[in-house]
């Protein structure tokens, strides 16, 4: 399953960067997750970094392990990258989608996978709208309400801080 629309509880955040899409994309693709998520949110830990990346981070099928501050980890795999393979955006839009699985912490009791999707739209020469959607696949219908509560209480604020860090980093170039 790799269609984000077919998953369970979700959240979405957005912001606008005062930077052209090419600059936003060039910073976003290789971004250091420890700079995006230096703090946790409730039971959601900060990111320490990544390791064991299998290929360029804009090529479908590339994967890596994300190390979290509580000693747990998750696996990320790219499902879509447009543009890809080092190319710059050409049509005023870009998209990046990925699957997260292999949860080793408390979330492993609630979810089997999550799907993230970032979209970027250049609305003016120096303005890019950034949207990030994240959806979880609950482990069962019994835990879906608990997963929804976790998203509402902690995950959405984690996402808001993360997307604002992405905006800040991309504006800095």
Tens of pLDDT, residue by residue over 16-56, are 999 999 999 999 999 999 999 999 999 999 999 999 999 99
- The parent domain of residue 62 ranges over 4-172
The DSSP line for 14-71 is EEEESS-HHHHHHHHTT--HHHH-SS-BTTBPPEEEEE---S-TTSTT-EEEEEETTS
Question: Could you report the per-residue pLDDT of 82-109, keeping only the tens digit for each?
Answer: 999 999 998 999 999 999 999 988 889 9
pLDDT at 5 over 60: no
CATH of the domain at 163: 3.30.530.20
Number of domains forming the structure of the chain: 1
- Work out the pLDDT band at 162, boundaries 50, 70, 90: very high
């Amino acid at each position: 399953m790799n269609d984000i629309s077919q998953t369970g509880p979700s959240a979405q955040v957005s912001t606008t960067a005062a930077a052209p899409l090419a600059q936003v994309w060039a910073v976003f693709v290789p971004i250091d997750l420890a700079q995006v998520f230096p703090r946790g949110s409730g039971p959601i830990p900060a990111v320490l970094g990544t390791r064991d990346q299998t290929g360029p981070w804009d090529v479908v099928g590339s994967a890596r392990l994300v190390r979290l501050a509580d000693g747990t980890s998750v696996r990320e795999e790219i499902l879509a990258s447009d543009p890809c393979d080092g190319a710059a955006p050409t049509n005023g839009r870009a998209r990046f989608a990925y699957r997260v699985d292999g949860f080793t912490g408390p979330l492993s009791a609630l979810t089997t996978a999550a799907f993230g999707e970032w979209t970027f739209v250049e609305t003016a020469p120096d303005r890019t709208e950034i949207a990030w959607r994240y959806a979880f696949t609950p482990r069962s219908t019994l835990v879906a309400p608990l997963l929804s509560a976790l998203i509402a209480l902690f995950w959405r604020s984690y996402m808001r801080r993360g997307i604002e860090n992405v905006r800040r980093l991309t504006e800095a170039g």
